Structure 1
C-alpha cells in the first residue's frame, strides 16, 4: 500500500493546498473523430509487453500515515443521520428466481487476436437499447445483445484510437493507458467513453473524454483532453446527470504522492453539441479519498434542482472504526464557475457533507487493512480487495414516490481476515437527513466476496454481481439479488455465472480493480454484469464474461 506522510505533504507544495474554491480549466485539446467503424477497418491492434499495468500500484493512501495529518474533528459534518448498524445475513434466504440470459466470453485470453496488455483488466461496460460496449484495460469492443462483436475483425480497438484525431502532441492520441469507464447517456442517447493518459515520467497527465455524435457506439465522437499537469488522475469514475458529466479521481503527483480526492464536472450540454472548449470545474480535497458520483438510471429525472451527490468514507484518515460515509453535493455553475459549490447542500462550508455514521463493528476488508487478503485454491497468493473505497457504481434511481442511491463495498464485519459484500440503499438522499433504508452484509458462508457492483431495475428489484473465492475454490463470478417485496436487508441465494478454472499466482495480487452492473434501457428490467476470471493457474491470463439476468416480476 502506498506510503505518504500527509503532514509533510500539506507543506510541500502550494499547488497541493486544499482550496475552498473550484479549479477551472478548459481542455488542452478538442476535436472530432472519424467513425470508429472506419478506424477499425484499417486498425492493427498491438498490445503492450506484459507487465503490471498500473504505475507503482497500489494507488491507495496508507491510513497509518494519513492519520498523522488528519483528525476526526477536521471531518465533523454539519448534519448527520443516526448511526447505521448493518444487518448481518449469514444464511440463504431463498432461490434467486431470476431468469438467466446471455452469458458469453468477452475480451481477454482466448479472444482471437487479443494480447493481454496488463493486469488487472479494469473490466467495465455500458448498455444501450441495441449495443453493449465493454472496455478492459486498454482495449474495447462493441457487441450486440447476443454477444456478437460488431466492429470489423478482430472485433476490438486500442482505446487511444478514439482520440487519434487530436494529433501527435496529444497524450490521449499517442498513449494507451487504460483505467477506462464507458457510459450510455440514455437521456441524450449518446455514449461517453474515457480513460487516462500520461507520459513515462508522469510529468504530463491527462484525462481523455469522448462523447458520441449519435446513439451508434461505432460512429464518430466529439473529443476532449483535459490536462492535470504533473498530477495523475487515477481511478476515474463517471456519473451521468442532467446538468453535467461528473468524473472523480484520486490524484497522485508524478504518479506517486497522494494529492487529494478530486471531483470534476463537465458541461454536458456543450459536450453533446461538440463545443470545442467546455471547461472542467473541479474541487480537490486532501482529506477525502475515492469519491463516487451518483449515476442516473431509468427514465425519471431527479426532482428539479437535485444536485449530484458524491459519496466517500473516511477510512483512510482515521486510526480505527467507527467510520463515516460522507454525502457531498456538487452544484457546478458553468456560466459563473466561481459560484460552483461542493458542500453538504444546506449552507455548509466547502467540502462539508451529510454524514451517515457506520457502526463500530464495520471495518474495511482484510481486517481493516483494505488491501490483499482473499485466499485462492492451491496458492498462497492473496488477492486485492480495494477495501479502502466504495465500489462503482453509485446508482441513483427516481421511483416517483421516492428516490434512492445504491452502492456496495468490501468490508469485514468483525476483525477477521476476510472480505464480505456490504450493500446500502439510501432513500431521499438529498434530504436532511437521508434515510438509510437498507444496510446489510451478505455472508451466507465463509467465502470471500468482493469487487462488487449493483443496480436497481424499474420496480426496485436489486441485482448484484461480484467475485467469490476461498482456500478451496478458484476465483469465480457470482450474482445475487432481491425482489422489491422481499424482507428488508436480505439477498437471495447466489447463482454461479462462471466457475474459476485457476488461481492467480506468482506475486500478482491485483484483481478486477472494479466490475460493472448496468440495467438495460431497452426494458429497464435486464441486468448486465461484467468482471474477470481466469481459466487456468497463472498470471496475465485473465478472461472476462458478460452475463445478463432479470426477475420474472419485471415486464
Structure 2
C-alpha cells in the first residue's frame, strides 16, 4: 500500500494578458520554458506528403536539428510539492490547489486553426519516461457465455457530421468530445476546439506551450501535455477537460483540469494544475492513460502509475483513482481531491448522467473476466471494493489490417468506454475471439441491480477479414445502446461507423453497421504498426437525451483527421417517425427509390433493393 499525505499546491500565474486574477487566487510567476536534452531522442515518423506538393516540411515543436528533445517544465524545483505519500494505515491521501482564471474570449485569434501538420510526427509516449508493465492476460475460470453478433435490422440514423481537428504534430490523436446545450467541445493531442452543433468553429488552440498562448499554458503547463479528455457535466452544465503532464528530467507529474464557468465554453474557464507524483517506498510514480468520468457527486480521474528512474521498487505500482470535489470549481474556488492507489491497470471511468447513479470503474482483468470498482464515499477513507464479472472468453488483438502500410496497433484489450444509465452499465473494448484473427469490437451490458452480472455481450463482427477497432458505447434515455467504431481491412481504408440496438432486439445483437465517414487512405509512413485512436468517444446529448454524438479518426492524403458525428438509434424504417412502420413509410421509400434520401437505410448513397430488404425486416 502506498502511503497518505496532504498535497498542497498553489496555482501558477502567468504574465500573459489573457489571465484574470480574482481575490481568492494566489499565484506565482511562471518562468520561461527551458529546453534540455533527453537521454535519447524519440522515434518519429514523417507526415505524408501530398502529390506534387514541394513545400518544405515543418519543424516539430520538440525538434532541434535532427533530434527531438524531451520537454522541461520550467518550474522552479524549490516550489514543487513533495511526492504524495499515504500515511501508515490510511488508504487515501488528499490535496487541493487554487483556481487560475482564463477568459477564452481574449485569445487572439479565437480560432488558431492550422492546416494539417506536415512534418515529423512523434508519439507522446516517446518523450515520456521509459515504462512498461506485464500485459499478459490472466487466465480466469472458463464459462459457457457467448457473444452475439450483427443483425439485418436498421437502427442507426446519422443526423449530422462535420470535420473536427486535423493532424497536429502528434500521433495518435486520442479524440474526445463533450456535448452540452449548444456546443460541442473536442480535445486531441495537443489541441482543444469547440463548435456550434451545426459544426461552426468557434475556438481552437494548442493545449501546451506551443500555442500562443496554449490553453493550459497560463496555469503552468509547460511544453508537454498528453492524453486529453473532456466531458459535459449535465448536473451543473459545465464543460470539464483533463490533460496529463510529466517531465522526466524534472521529476514532475501533474493532472491538469479546466472547467467552464457555465454552459457556454466561450468565456471564463477555471483551471487547476494538480500535483500527481506518487511515492511508494524508494520510488516516485507518474500517471499515464487517464480514465475520466463523473456522477452527481464528483469527477474522477484514473491512471496507470509508472516509476521514474531511481530507487528500488516495482516499475508499475497499480492505478491511481482521484476523486475530485466539484463544489469549489463551481465558483472558481480551490479544488479539493482524494486519492487512492489500487491494484490493477487501465481502469476506465463511467459517465453516470442520472441522479442517484454512482460512478463505476471497469477494467479487463482476465480472459473471461472484467472487474468493477466502486466506493460508497469518494471523498472519505472508506474501502475501495471490486467485484468480478464473468464475460465470454477473449484474447488480445494487436494488429488491424489496412490496404497499405504495416497496419494499425490496437493497444490491448483494455476497456475504452463505460456508460451507466440506471442499473444498466455498458462497456466496450477491442479483442479477438473464437479462434479468428479478426479484431472485433466487443460490447457488454451489465446489470447493477444486485451484485454486478452480465446481461448480454455482443461483437461488431461484419465481413470476414475485417477488423473493428476502438468501439465506444453510450445508453440513451429510451434504453437504446449506440456505438461508434473504426472498421478496416486489407481492402478497406479505415472508416468511422455507427450501429445500435433498441430494447427488444435479439439479445447480444447490434444493428447493421453504417459508415458515416470514409477514410481516403491509410497511414503508411513506417515499418512499425501505426498508432491509431487511441480511443474514440460517444456521449448523449443532454438536451433531448436521445441524440448520440461521437468522434472518430480517418486518414486523408494530408494525414490523420477527426470527424464529429451525431446519430439516433431507433427503428430506422419508421421514416416518418410516427412510431409505426407501415404503408406511409413504404410510400416514402418507393418515392425515393433509385435516388438519395432518408430511406437509404444502409448508408451506401442509394435507395435500392438492399434498403427495401432492411425495411421489410421491421415491417
TM bucket (normalised to shorter chain) is 0.7 to 0.9
Could you list the structure 1 runs, at least 4 aligned residues long, displaced by more than 4 angstroms after superposition.
14-20, 42-49, 57-60, 552-555
Report Cα offsets for 1:445-479 as digits up to 9, x if no partner: 22110111011111111110011111111111111
Residue 386 of structure 1 contacts residue 451 of structure 1 at CA under 8 Å; is this kept in 2?
no
Instruction: Show the 5 A alignment for 1:198-347.
Output: 198-201=246-249, 203-229=251-277, 230-254=284-308, 257-276=315-334, 278-285=335-342, 287-297=343-353, 300-302=354-356, 307-315=358-366, 321=367, 323-332=368-377, 334=379, 337=380, 339-343=381-385
SS for the counterpart of 1:129 is coil
Residue 303 of structure 2 contacts residue 346 of structure 2 at CA under 8 Å; is this kept in 1?
yes
With 197-206 and 130-139 compared, the bigger mean Cα shift is at: 197-206
2:216 to 149, 163, 180: 163
Partners of 2:532 and 2:517 in 1: how far apart?
16
Residue 376 of structure 1 contacts residue 382 of structure 1 at CA under 8 Å; is this kept in 2?
yes
Distance 1:522 1:159, change over 3 A: farther
SS for the counterpart of 1:188 is coil
Distance 1:18 1:61, change over 3 A: farther
With 262-271 and 118-127 compared, the bigger mean Cα shift is at: 262-271
Structure 2 gap ranges (5+): 1-82, 278-283, 572-576, 580-619
Distance 1:414 1:201, change over 3 A: farther
Residue 204 of structure 1 contacts residue 231 of structure 1 at CA under 8 Å; is this kept in 2?
no
Distance 1:59 1:410, change over 3 A: farther
Residue 260 of structure 2 contacts residue 267 of structure 2 at CA under 8 Å; is this kept in 1?
yes
Residue 45 of structure 1 contacts residue 158 of structure 1 at CA under 8 Å; is this kept in 2?
no
1:83 Cα deviation (Å)? 4.9
1:476 to 492, 495, 516: 495
> Counterpart in 1 of 2:186?
134
1:41 Cα deviation (Å)? 3.8
Residue 362 of structure 2 contacts residue 373 of structure 2 at CA under 8 Å; is this kept in 1?
yes
1:406 Cα deviation (Å)? 0.6
Whether 2:520 is the aligned partner of 1:520: answer: no
Residue 175 of structure 2 contacts residue 551 of structure 2 at CA under 8 Å; is this kept in 1?
yes
Partners of 1:19 and 1:356 in 2: how far apart?
32
Instruction: Show the 5 A alignment for 1:530-549.
Output: 530-536=551-557, 541-549=559-567
> Counterpart in 2 of 1:36?
104
Whether 2:420 is the aligned partner of 1:396: answer: yes
Partners of 1:100 and 1:36 in 2: how far apart?
31
Residue 421 of structure 1 contacts residue 442 of structure 1 at CA under 8 Å; is this kept in 2?
yes
Distance 1:308 1:180, change over 3 A: same
Residue 237 of structure 2 contacts residue 262 of structure 2 at CA under 8 Å; is this kept in 1?
yes
Instruction: Show the 5 A alignment for 1:10-21.
Output: 21=90
Distance 1:237 1:421, change over 3 A: same
> Counterpart in 2 of 1:106?
164
How many residues are treated as equivalent by the alignment? 470
1:362 to 394, 400, 406: 394
> Counterpart in 2 of 1:63?
135
Instruction: Show the 5 A alignment for 1:74-89.
Output: 83=143, 85-89=145-149
> Counterpart in 2 of 1:347?
none
SS for the counterpart of 1:37 is helix
Partners of 1:34 and 1:412 in 2: how far apart?
46
Residue 191 of structure 2 contacts residue 205 of structure 2 at CA under 8 Å; is this kept in 1?
yes
> Counterpart in 2 of 1:9?
none
Whether 2:515 is the aligned partner of 1:464: answer: no
Residue 531 of structure 1 contacts residue 545 of structure 1 at CA under 8 Å; is this kept in 2?
yes
Partners of 2:486 and 2:123 in 1: how far apart?
21
Structure 1 gap ranges (5+): 1-13, 77-81, 110-115, 316-320, 344-352, 367-371
SS for the counterpart of 1:106 is strand
Residue 84 of structure 1 contacts residue 357 of structure 1 at CA under 8 Å; is this kept in 2?
no
> Counterpart in 2 of 1:117?
169
> Counterpart in 2 of 1:346?
none
TM-score, length basis structure 1: 0.78
Whether 2:144 is the aligned partner of 1:94: answer: no
Partners of 2:186 and 2:502 in 1: how far apart?
27
TM-score, length basis structure 2: 0.70
Whether 2:454 is the aligned partner of 1:436: answer: yes
Structure showing greater radius of gyration is 2
> Counterpart in 2 of 1:4?
none
Distance 1:44 1:143, change over 3 A: closer
Partners of 1:280 and 1:193 in 2: how far apart?
16
1:15 Cα deviation (Å)? 8.7
With 196-205 and 418-427 compared, the bigger mean Cα shift is at: 196-205
Partners of 2:110 and 2:155 in 1: how far apart?
46
